Chains A and B, each alone.
Chain A
């Protein structure tokens, strides 16, 4: 044979269908890809929403305002599990009624910022995302103006609490719906306080003395100095403010931390850390004090009502320790410092992302979820863990059945609530400080002995200056 002589293709001698030749593969792949590409580019090729079971919902599904499809809601994992279960139930109910598949994903709230950041960068992800603090302000460019939704909710359930509005109303537009408040108060053991002759502290000085007395009696206080979104900032920011310290001036640019007031706050924190707190709080997160209090290791700790609520629910199931805790616990609000009484709460909201492909469904869902029937149902399922941000949800039945929880309700109207970065307006810089735990670490580094109080302040000032410019 000459060099030019074609040779039989070995594959062609095999029974047909048993093996693809390279040529057949290329032909098939090319044809399939071209067909898929053409189909995708064809006019009206948008995927039709699927009905239940994946069947096309074009002609057989009833006409609904939302147009069907899917809706995803990235929500936190609530400290009272019943609230998550209720939300899932409500979401399913609305989804079934409107032929929309609603997926509620619950994750640790500390992980939401990263998920949100990735979603914004990718322009894809959950349609609705749970917010706290000033996140709606920071991410306003990535959020849809849902003033129409807010207006409908306001008419049915409102008016909205002014203090909640500031976190979600951005430049004349509602960028999120304020869905609830998470106030923190001190839960304490009344029996142990009584045994030790300790009264409920009215000032921070009293608080430090009470902690020392209780620790000597074998029942220390517990206060986290770790990196977590809730309990650390709601304690240490008010502590700093009450002593007269602040991270920044009202202009939002001038760092103001280095002051005698801040030094006093740090020095007193070190004193309390040594004399009144349980060991290990430097590594605590938001769950640690719940566990320690439930194990009867603490006489007092700052927390949402979840400790008390869960103790009550476990007591009802026959748990003797939980019953003892529930019967012998009560609450008090932040004591006063030399400059007054301050507190910080977690304002929760939900925003609609601008990359969402199903915005109308998301809006309809939000309106429905915040109607009094559903909204109160959800809030009551938490036994008062979250308080309503709308007028019609101010007085939950939970507070009447558990009067010991009233401090949480009273906190919202106490006038003591400030925000991270106070007295400057809410800003990206204060958010960065909050999320990098700089104020918390100011105290943690001094308490751990890594720095002297003065050096800890110098360190924190250096950190603040890279954010406030």
Chain B
């Protein structure tokens, strides 16, 4: 009985590691993606402002 419980516990801990990895990976990928998106927006707007400035 004890061995079965121990195996179940080890199985549970091992399996959950995948979910933990997935949760952290998704979180950081989404945040990094959003920061890249903001960076692209800044770059595009800066170029647009510079183009207007140089045209005037």
A in complex with B: no
Interface set of B (CB-CB < 8 Å, partner A): none
Interface set of A (CB-CB < 8 Å, partner B): none
